[in-house]
Amino acid sequence: MITKLATASINVAYDKQANLKKFLSIIDEAADNNADLLVLPEQSLQGYLPSMTQLDLEHYRYQYENAETVPGGSSVKAIIEKAAKRNIYVVFGMTEKHEEVDHMLFNTAVLTGPDGYVGKYRKVHTPLDELHIYYAGEEFFVFETKIGRIGILICYDKAFPESAREAALGGAEILITPLAWPLSSPEFAANPENDPNLDEHRLYDRVRAMENQIFFISSNHFGDSGKSSYFGNSNIVGPNGAILATTGYCEGVAYAEVDLKAEIYKGKTIGMMGSNLMRERKPNAYFRLKG
């Protein structure tokens, strides 16, 4: 069965209604192109932090005032309804407010689809200034869908091989990672190819796919936002680590048509000369990972 995957790079404003309007338009665009799954960036509903290294109390107030519960928030409901109407799975990033403890905020990715809300994932590895604002999640979920089993990470999570492996051990066939991965310095804006941050981003996407022999989809911001500038390059990566599609250095949507089951089977059999990296693991030898 052929599945059409889509990932977006978008410029995000600190304006939830403007971002929601852009979401709904991109969902329509992806559905019009017969996509089965669309991925949108980290915290792209409210906007990512203006700075990862400087505590901004005014922005903290903005995030708190614009946070929503999941799935009950008004913007969240609008996206759920649009995805169901257009018969497409959508993953999007947002600031979530705890349903019962009002002051608890999470950096969350939401999965919804043709039959409505599916589930959410709260970022486990919260770096730098996120530590001042967001509570960390505690589990890597895998969601059953009609197109396959979906695991979700968020941004910095992909720097930890244990994150992707945990989802893969849970049966994930597609590993989705909304992110906000910026240029390391404005000096690289004219030529992002020289930026080591871009090298790291691509390397993590490709290695996390290949070491687990599953599909990996990233979705990044593009352009200026707060004190950061983002290079896009949202990627769809196959089980062999090859980038099948990318948005490149622009706002837009990239597509790839794949046979998920066939490509994963190929990756775990003839793709590495018959090597199956999951089957050939030796957990009993990894004693330092047990602590």
pLDDT tens column, 6-34: 999 999 999 999 999 999 999 999 999 99
User: Running DSSP on this structure, what letter comes out for residue 135?
Assistant: B
| Contact between residue 116 and residue 107 where contact means Cβ atoms under 8 Å apart | no
Q: What value does the mean pLDDT of the chain take?
A: 95
0.85 exceeded by pTM: yes
- Looking at residue 128, its amino acid is L
Structural domains of the chain ordered from first start:
3-290 (3.60.110.10)
pLDDT of 291 over the 70 cut: no
Do residues 129 and 135 lie in contact, with contact meaning Cβ atoms separated by under 8 Å? no
40: left (phi over 0), alpha (psi -120 to 50) or beta: beta
pLDDT for 205 equals: 98
Mean pLDDT score, 271-278: 82
Q: What is the mean pLDDT of residues 109-119?
A: 98
Start-to-end Cα distance in the chain: 41
| Helical segments of the chain, H only | 16-32, 57-66, 74-86, 130-133, 161-169, 196-212, 260-268
Cis peptide before 71 (omega within 30 of 0): yes
pLDDT exceeds 90 at position 102? no
Mean pLDDT of 99-108: 94
Tell which wins on pLDDT, 109 or 282.
109
The structure tokens listed for 254 are 């990239």
Question: Is residue 141 scored above 90 in pLDDT?
Answer: yes
